[in-house]
Structure formats: C-alpha cells, structure tokens
Amino acid sequence: MRAGDTPAVWKLDRLGRDLRHLVNLVGDLTKRNVGLKILAGEGASIDTTTANGRLVFAIFAGLAEFERELISERTKAGLASARARGRHGGRPFKMTAAKLRLACASMGQPETKVADLCAELGITRQTLYRVVGPNGELRNDGERLLQRRAPFAK
C-alpha cells in the first residue's frame, strides 16, 4: 500500500486476532500515512484517517476482543460439560469392536483376501493391519479398541 491509500475491511474482527495486533496494525498503517475503513459489523463506518475514527476504532477493537474471549470461554465450558457427561467429540472410529472380532477371525483363515475383507468392513488396508496382524493376532491398537468404552454411551 502507498501513502494516501485507504484499504477497506469487511468487519473489524477479520483484521486481527487480538487488540494488541489490531492497534499495532493501525499504528503501522498510520505511520505509513495509510488509512483504514471498516465496512460492516460493530465497527461500521470507522475511518481511521480522522481522530474520531481512531477513537471509535479503539473502543470497538476492545469490544471485539472481549466478545472473542467470551466465546472462547463458553466453548471451553461447553466442552468440559460434555466430557463430564461422558461425551467425546470428533469423528467416530471406522473400526468397531464387532468389526475387529470379525477381522481377527477372518485373518486367521488362509483363504481370506485382505482387499475383500477391507471392502466388506468398510475400512482401509492400513486400518486393518493397524489393529490385526496377518495371522489374525490382535495388535496393540486392537487391544485398546476393545478396552475403549463405546462413544456417547451413557
């Protein structure tokens, strides 16, 4: 950007992660004689080329950081509450205990084709060999899978 330019930003919270970053960025822009215009959101119609605009920017930047911190605290509290109720987020595992038992029995038989077994179970070859050995023996990840409680169980 050149001196005299005034870039436009959709919302104030899209410009930086925290108040210090926003203030430093606007300070750097001001030193280079570059303005800043906020188009929408809490800081709508802020123009940092004026004293009033810089004051309003500082106020809204503080409010935006405060709001972001509140959202973060609420999210962490919600996750902790869910964990306390025995719920864990994330994608469900493809390999279940029932599939594991079937895989162990099938891999123990020499006529089993690994590609067919993987297609039937809906897993990849890597997933299969991570939990079951070529002769049907249970591996460490397979043992952990059997010891793990079912997700979302009450």
Predicted confidence (pLDDT) per residue in 51-110, tens digit = 887 787 778 778 877 888 899 999 999 999 999 998 888 888 889 999 999 999 999 898
Q: How confident is the model at residue 31 (pLDDT cuts 50, 70, 90)?
A: confident
Residue 152 has a pLDDT of 46
Structural domain contains residue 152? no
| Domain termination site, one of 31, 55, 84 | 84
Residue 153 has a pLDDT of 45
pLDDT mean over 119-142: 93
Structural domain contains residue 89? no
Mean pLDDT over all residues of the chain?
A: 84
CA distance 69 to 74: 9
Amino acid at 21: H
Residue 36 has a pLDDT of 83
Same domain, 44 and 70: yes
Q: Which residues contact 60 (CB under 8 A, 6 or more apart)?
A: 12, 38, 42, 43, 46
Angle 88-92-96 from CA coordinates, rounded to 5°: 115
Q: What share of the chain is helix, strand, coil (3-state, %, to 5)?
A: 55, 5, 40
Same domain, 53 and 76: yes
Tell me the CATH number at 61. 3.40.50.1390
Q: What percent of the chain has pLDDT over 70?
A: 93
Same domain, 59 and 127: no
**Whether pLDDT at 132 is above 90:** yes
Residue 154 has a pLDDT of 40
Domain count, the chain: 2
Structural domain contains residue 2? no
Same domain, 72 and 111: no
Hey, what are 113's tokens? 């084709």
Same domain, 66 and 133: no
Same domain, 52 and 30: yes
